[in-house]
Structure 1
């Protein structure tokens, strides 16, 4: 009897959370998928058109370009952000007297909203802004660029803002991994005469596997769905060189009133995020078990 009452109580307690999840997560998801199979343009009626929107999407050069930009952006952010976070964590792990202060300072950019960070960097990237002025002052004026106006580098300039914001977050996750490494392993490596690089490669890198999995998964999910930075910094320009899938969704729905195409693009982005992040997580978790 008591077990049955406990089971009923558990169901009653979880119902509000399930209701909120169903209302704000499941219903919009199902509604969006169904919408992508129609020709809805924002009106009260629509007609079922099957895979027409998806066919148009995969044959749209703008959408394919945005997909390519999204993948390149995610790859750059993943590699550079994870690399910087790991490097900073490796250095700070050996300097406990400054670790707390420096890691807190590295986290500060992540506390700024992406829109505010974009406005700050839009000033820094101006032809007369902080970056070009600094390069001129230190005698590196030859490196000045039209950072957000050159189609060949604009996407990477936006990625740099993302990396600046969240490299410290990545560093803190790796530092948490370092805190879980038994001191006996590090002492044993030192006694065996291992160099810093050997200790990192043979001991630390293996023990940081869970932290790497978390960092890679979070980075992929965030960068594949990037929207704020390209919207504020370039609005997809110049000449579409910073268009992303999330930006296309915004334009289809709010600028073109093409709700069905926007929903189809959103479904494509959802599938991309789920497949890529799940595959990366599965590979890295398998590596954790092997190590």
Structure 2
């Protein structure tokens, strides 16, 4: 009986394992192998060992793109989750408008990233909507070439990411709010805990699992960002918004350096795995402590 059950389980698992191996494991190992060759994308390649990675170590463009990628992810994770938590807290306390406003916050996620990037490229234009709004409210002195200034370009691109996915973070935090024990919240209210004290002592610890999910998802998504910097700036101005994904794209599809582009993709994979795993482990540890 036990062996029949194991055989049945294996029969159900094998198709999934086969698909995973074919579409995940094989491309992964094939990519790592190609990064150790001098392939230009054709059938002919020669093993060159760590030459591509040595070239990456000596390439200042790689270190700059890695820094831009990490900085972009940091800005997005902090702002997106901070705003998502703020909106979720407000909606939890206002049940009459909760559904309507939650739909409004989730509306940007219904737009494709490419379309969102094109829309914001017009808003960020020198004569676009953002500068016109500042002019209209008497803040013309704050008008700026948002995507043309190296000091603001990366943060402007990050703004689009934050605008688009804050609704996701809000929805996850709000779901965690809705699952909080009402008895505990009522007891806190009877004890006089309200406002910041209630949030810090009761709500924040109970939101720990939602925070772990939100931070992990937003970190992975922002480290792999591609559409927003491609459409809005294409890595400019002067490389100020170059990310690892853009370098992968340029080298594989336009630079004639296929193996080098694959090596950058491997670096990106390692970066995502290391940072997301470390962050998730720290947040899980925090969950157990609180």
Q: TM-score, normalised by structure 2?
A: 0.98
Output one character per residue of 1:166-205: Cα deviation in whole Å (capped at 9) or x when no partner. 0111000000110111011111111111131100000000
The total of aligned residue pairs comes to 290
The runs of at least 4 consecutive aligned structure 1 residues that moved more than 4 Å come to: none
Alignment-derived partner of residue 282 in structure 1 = 281
CA-to-aligned-CA distance 1:240-282 (integer Å, 9 cap, x gap): 1100001100001000121111111111111110110111100
Query: In structure 2, what is the equivalent of residue 162 of structure 1?
Result: 161
Shift of 1:43: 2.6
Query: What is the rounded CA distance, in whole Å, between the counterparts of 2:62 and 2:29 in structure 1?
Result: 23
How do residues 1-291 of structure 1 correspond to structure 2 at under 5 angstroms? 2-291=1-290
Kindly report the root-mean-square deviation, in angstroms, between the aligned alpha carbons of the 2 structures.
0.9
Q: State how far apart, in whole Å, the 2-side matches of 1:285 and 1:233 are.
A: 36
The 2-side partners of 1:13 and 1:83 are apart by: 42
Give the deviation of 1:6 after TM superposition.
2.5
Alpha-carbon distance in 1 for matches of 2:17, 2:156: 41
* TM-superposed deviation, 1:3: 3.0
Gaps of 5+ in 2: none
Comparing 96-105 with 162-171, greater Cα deviation is found at: 96-105
Output one character per residue of 1:124-180: Cα deviation in whole Å (capped at 9) or x when no partner. 111111111111111111111101111110000000000000011100000011011
Task: Using structure 1 for the length normalisation, give the TM-score.
Answer: 0.98
Q: Secondary structure at the match of 1:96?
A: coil
C-alpha deviations, 1:88-112, integer Å up to 9, x for none? 0111111111111111110110111
Segments of structure 1 that go 5 or more residues without pairing to the other structure are none
